[in-house]
Amino acid sequence: MRTTLHQIRSIVAPPLTGPHGPLPPLLLVLTVVTGLVDAFSYLALGRVFVANMTGNVVFIAFSLAGAKGFSLLASVLALLAFVAGAVAGGRLYGLAAAHRARLLLGATVAQLALVLVSLGLSETVSLPADGASRAVLVVLLGLAMGSQNAVVRRLAVPDLTTTVLTMTLTGVAADSRLAGGGDSRAGRRLLSALAMFAGALAGAALIVHGHPTAPLPIVAALLAVVAAGLVPHRHSTLPWAAPEAG
């Protein structure tokens, strides 16, 4: 129990002299963002994910098999936009690779801009969206989440991918003492899962109770918080800021 609490503390309030500096709590906020964005895309844009691509691959297969209620176009657009966003994130790494705080700051500012454009568009259309407005929203948010994932992957903070939880939860079980493992890092991994759950729950609750656009301003606010949290560290010379620290 003490180990689990220590792991949680290492994410929520890590020392700036630690191997990842202030990055863990900021990535935890981005994990909440993922839950909110996918709640919006699935419930307000109609059975499509813009952050978790596993779902879209399955949805494409369902559509090709003739299953009702899935949009082949939306799933393909989400997948392509996500990949394009990931390419952009990789390009950003080439420009800001020398400093982890500046890398994440640049990606977050770009992501915030895409979310704000999405918010503006969502306020002008009826939700659940369809047609061209749906396609544009899927592309904008897919680009935003693809770039986030690419940059977070480069940062390489353990157990904080901000998106993929399958391997995270597998690690909790497979590395547990019950399975013969020595350290499941349950505190860190479960906190990541809880963050995404909280974001998805909040986003779904808002949409289901008549506020379909509400998740996006919350996403924008959280991204602004992440950016503000990175600004004081953009010139940091502490070891965590160097790319090899990841």
The predicted structure's pLDDT at residue 123: 93
Per-residue pLDDT for 99 more than 70? yes
Identity at 76, one-letter amino acid code: V
Segment 16-43 mean pLDDT:
95
Radius of gyration over every alpha carbon of the chain, rounded to an integer in angstroms:
18
List, as one string, the DSSP characters of 113-180.
Answer: HHHHHHHHHHTTS-SS--HHHHHHHHHHHHHHHHHHHHHHHHHT-TT--SS--HHHHHHHHHTSGGGT
What CA–CA distance (Å, rounded) separates 74 from 81? 10
Of residues 166 and 156, more confidently modeled: 156
What structural domains and CATH numbers belong to the chain? 21-230 (1.20.1250)
Separation in Å, CA 231 to CA 13, 87, 192: 18, 24, 24
The predicted structure's pLDDT at residue 103: 93
Q: Sign (positive/negative) of CA torsion 133, 135, 138, 140? A: negative
User: Which residues are CB-neighbours of 184 under 8 A, at least 6 positions away?
Assistant: 171, 172, 173, 174, 175, 176, 177
Could you give the count of Cα atoms lying within 13 Å of 37 in the half-sphere of its Cβ?
Answer: 37
Q: Do the Cβ atoms of 32 and 199 come closer than 8 Å?
A: yes
Of the ranges 4-8, 91-95, 166-170, which one carries the lowest mean pLDDT score? Answer: 166-170
The predicted structure's pLDDT at residue 161: 84
Q: Do the Cβ atoms of 62 and 228 come closer than 8 Å?
A: no
Segment 65-87 mean pLDDT:
95
Task: Quote the tokens at residue 151.
Answer: 């940059």
Residue 107 sits at the vertex; the CA angle it makes with 33 and 124, to the nearest 5 degrees, is 60
Per-residue pLDDT for 121 more than 80? yes
Per-residue pLDDT for 151 more than 80? yes
Of residues 74 and 183, more confidently modeled: 74
Per-residue pLDDT for 10 more than 80? no
User: Which residues are CB-neighbours of 188 under 8 A, at least 6 positions away?
Assistant: 7, 8, 10, 11, 158, 159, 160
Summarised one tens digit per residue, pLDDT across range 167-220 is: 666 665 656 555 555 555 666 778 888 999 999 999 999 999 999 999 999 999
